[in-house]
Structure 1
Amino acid sequence: MAGASRDLEKARKAAADPKRPGKLCRAEPASYKPVVDRNKCEGKSDCIAVCPHDVFEIGRIPDDEFRAMSFFIRLKMTAHGRKTAFTPRADACQACGLCVVACPEKAIRLVELAA
């Protein structure tokens, strides 16, 4: 169910962050895309907790991506259960930037897509 995992307190805190990038949820859907840095993401789900458009889900990093990472990143990923954020509904993103400021690892950025 969309929004079922949302944490309104975290979302309010992220919305008040002066470093929040994006278009404050006013961008056309699919004009921006959230990009997750797998070397930083620990799958803590804060992106899910604040996203009003249900863009994210947490899953296990694929074996091929995992093997391509450095030894130290693989150690960190293993310690966190090899969990990472995925963006299966990136086309719903409206660039509110809440995920960017809520991510404790600073592993998410918004990328504007060419028209």
Structure 2
Amino acid sequence: MFCPVQWQIRYKLKKGARDMAFNPVVDEGKCAGCEECVDVCPVDVYEMQEKNGKTVSVPVNAEECIGCDSCVEVCEEDAITVEEI
């Protein structure tokens, strides 16, 4: 079975994504707390935390981000961006 996310991860790793740095950012105002990004991230960048009385996703391991954009694609609220730095 073809999985576009797995293909994208393999492609970026072959192209040297490990030598690149990415900055995942969550807009806490938009985050619905669905945990989809936590579930889909292959390198465990995110965890759910309570902030201002709301449960939101927080990129606690941002340095591990490989820039696969799986989190961006799964976020229905468009609360996540991943920038190359």
| TM-score w.r.t. length of structure 1 | 0.59
| TM-score w.r.t. length of structure 2 | 0.78
Q: Whose strand proportion is higher, 1 or 2?
A: 2
Unaligned runs of 5+ in 2: none
Q: Which residue of 2 aligns with 1:108?
A: 80
Q: Identity over aligned residues, as a percent?
A: 33
In the alignment, residue 101 of structure 1 is paired with which amino acid? E
Q: Which residue of 1 aligns with 2:37?
A: 47
8 A contact 1:55–1:93 mirrored in 2: yes
**Mapped pair 1:88 → 2:60:** yes
Say how many residue pairs are matched: 79
Q: Aligned in 2, Cα 1:58/1:95: closer, same or farther, shift over 3 Å?
A: same
Q: Which residue of 1 aligns with 2:26?
A: 36
Q: Which residue of 2 aligns with 1:57?
A: 47
Per-residue Cα deviation, 1:68-113 (whole angstroms, up to 9, x for no partner):
xxxxxxxxxxxxx601110110000000000000012110011111
8 A contact 1:33–1:110 mirrored in 2: yes
SS in 2 for 1:104: coil
Q: Which residue of 2 aligns with 1:69?
A: none
In the alignment, residue 108 of structure 1 is paired with which amino acid? I
Shift of 1:25: 4.3
C-alpha RMSD of matched pairs (Å): 2.6
Which one scores higher on RCO, CA 8 angstroms, separation ≥ 6? Answer: 1
- Greater C-alpha Rg: 1
SS in 1 for 2:39: helix
Unaligned runs of 5+ in 1: 1-11, 64-80
